[in-house]
Structure 1
Amino acid sequence: MSFARSRSKIALAAALAATTMLGACSTYQPAPKSFQEATIQPYRLDSGDRLRISVFEQTGLSNTYTVDQAGYISFPLIGQVTARGQTMVALEGAIAAKLKQGYLRDPDVTIEMDRYRPVFVMGEVGRPGQYSYVPGMTAQNAIAIAGGFTPRGNQRDIDVTRKINGRSITGRTSISSAVLAGDTIYVRERLF
């Protein structure tokens, strides 16, 4: 009788452990609708983006500027300008407005992307790390650049962490999904 009880307790403990492990595996939910919507929204600047900013007929102001870790660019005459979360058009307007305040009569500011912030590819890939982002990139492209899947890599779907409205959100999506600059792509190990 005592042996049967021990077996019963062991079976119960194993079932609880399996349930806990399965629960841990399901902590990532399918990517929310906002994941796909973010790929068709205007590009939002963040730390690591490098911009070519030109002010018409002002060669001393026209240069390449990088968005720093705090989300600002340091611009001559006007100092720190908030770039994080802004579109390039909005940032053009913000810089022009500040230059109008006692520096230039009618500044004509244009911004072009010089280099996007990188994507990060982790998990079961040949060379995990940081890679240059290219507009139109898919998760599959990023994984290929990172050396492709390892023999244990799950090739069906991946986990992507993306900053949306200032919050980092992780969701499970297919490998053909579009990625954005700054995304972290994680290739899980397949179960069998």
Structure 2
Amino acid sequence: MIFRMTRMKQENVTMLSKRVLRSLVTISTSLILVTACAGGIKPSSNESGVDAVETDVTTTVNSAPNAGGYSIQPGDKLEISVYGEEDLQKELTVGPGGGITFPLIGDLNAKGKTVDQLRTEVKDQLSKFIPQAAVSVSIKEVIGNKVHVLGQVKSPGEYILTGSTDVMQALSMAGGVTAFASLRKIKILRRDSATQSQKVIGFNYSDVIKGKNLAQNILLHSGDTVVVP
């Protein structure tokens, strides 16, 4: 009788030990999964042999850059108005040569100017007719100063150049490259406005992120297309 009770106790202890062991394994597995998820970074390899890092990126594109360093370009649509003067409230499209025409002033060159610079020029030109004129200048639609980033990027599309922007910055605006991108075969397509011919400029992402051949990280021009195969 005593032997049977002792054996039952041993069996109960063994079963309890197994349950505790299973619980510990479950807890350890859960902790590993939580740690992996919390990191938010998933390294993966692509054909270039360089590890690509996938992160969640939110891209914000300023569709009407009325502040900062945006330079007005041909094709952009502007709104210029003078407070209290109904005849001096106009929506204008910047011409191919960069010019606009405004009442009392005549022709103005808007190309390459910021909103603040153009506002100051309009106010100065109007001062002989309307002293202390309250002039407002805004960009209604950006047409001329855009680039396209296409292919294996996380947010392909059309992006506004609000200042000097190089290839790496444009790729960043598009959310970065995907894990499937051919990093050594990126191309910039650029069209000559005079001849309408197009040339292809190569870009090796793998070299640039290692600090090599940095000269290829060129400044983009309006109308350029960055293709990530």
Give the structure-1-normalised TM-score.
0.50
Is the radius of gyration larger for structure 1 or structure 2? 2
When normalised by structure 2's length, the TM-score is: 0.43
